[in-house]
Amino acid sequence: MIGHVGTLSRNKLYWIKNQAIDEFERSTHYPRLDIGKLVSGELTRNPPGRHVSLDIDEFLKATLRQCLAVQETPIKGLIIENLGILLEPELELNPEKLFLELSLDAVIVLVWDYSIIDGRRFVWDEAEPEYGFSFPSHTITNMELPDEVP
């Protein structure tokens, strides 16, 4: 599917394994964003107050939208990796909502090397499926390499 970047649509989420990022990034020119690094940097610069989830949510929205705004590609998009920090209970974030909102305006590709259940649930370990991301009303499309064996 990497060769068919022009057919990607907005209002849809995609996922890709880590091994395919470099080729996908070259073919699309989408920026690759390390969410873990962004969030930890923001928490270091601006220690959270009482509303940590709101502060981080607003920071992420602004940062990701800024990355989209400066793109000069015909189809805007982001490759988002290192998602684990978004699952930290102390941050009380709703990353699924953030990704779905962004997908209204751009192609959003999540990097995930762990288990995916029914194309809707991203989990670290199938033995603990409650720890992960869940998109109950959306199927997340795999960006497979043409020669990749399932």
Please state whether the predicted TM-score (pTM) of the whole model is above 0.95. no
In this prediction, residues 3-24 reach a mean pLDDT of: 76
Q: What are residue 90's phi and psi, to 5 degrees?
A: -65, -25
Residue 119 burial (10 A CB sphere; 0-12, 13-18, 19+): middle
Q: Under 8 Å CB-to-CB from 51, ≥6 apart: which residues?
A: none
Structure token pair of residue 22? 């470099």
Q: Under 8 Å CB-to-CB from 71, ≥6 apart: which residues?
A: 29, 30, 31, 77
The number of distinct structural domains making up the chain is: 1
What are 107-145's pLDDT values in tens digits?
999 999 999 988 899 998 888 777 899 998 888 998 865
Residue (of 136, 61, 65) closest to 93 by Cα position: 61
What are 22-72's pLDDT values in tens digits?
988 988 889 999 999 999 999 988 877 777 878 899 999 999 999 999 998
Is 12 part of a structural domain of the chain? Answer: no
Is 67 part of a structural domain of the chain? Answer: yes
How far apart (Å, rounded) are the C-alpha atoms in residues 2 and 7?
A: 10
How far apart (Å, rounded) are the C-alpha atoms in residues 11 and 75?
A: 12
Is 41 part of a structural domain of the chain? Answer: yes
Is 7 part of a structural domain of the chain? Answer: no
Is 148 part of a structural domain of the chain? Answer: no
Q: Which one-letter amino acid corresponds to residue 136?
A: P
Is 123 part of a structural domain of the chain? Answer: no
Could you tell me the residue range of the domain that residue 31 belongs to? 18-115
Instruction: With residue 111 as reference, give the H or E element that holds it.
Output: strand 107-111
Is 94 part of a structural domain of the chain? Answer: yes
Alpha-carbon distances of 51 from 28, 39, 44, 56, 136, rounded to whole Å? 36, 15, 15, 9, 27
Is 31 part of a structural domain of the chain? Answer: yes
Q: Is 134 helix (H, G, I), strand (E, B) or coil?
A: strand
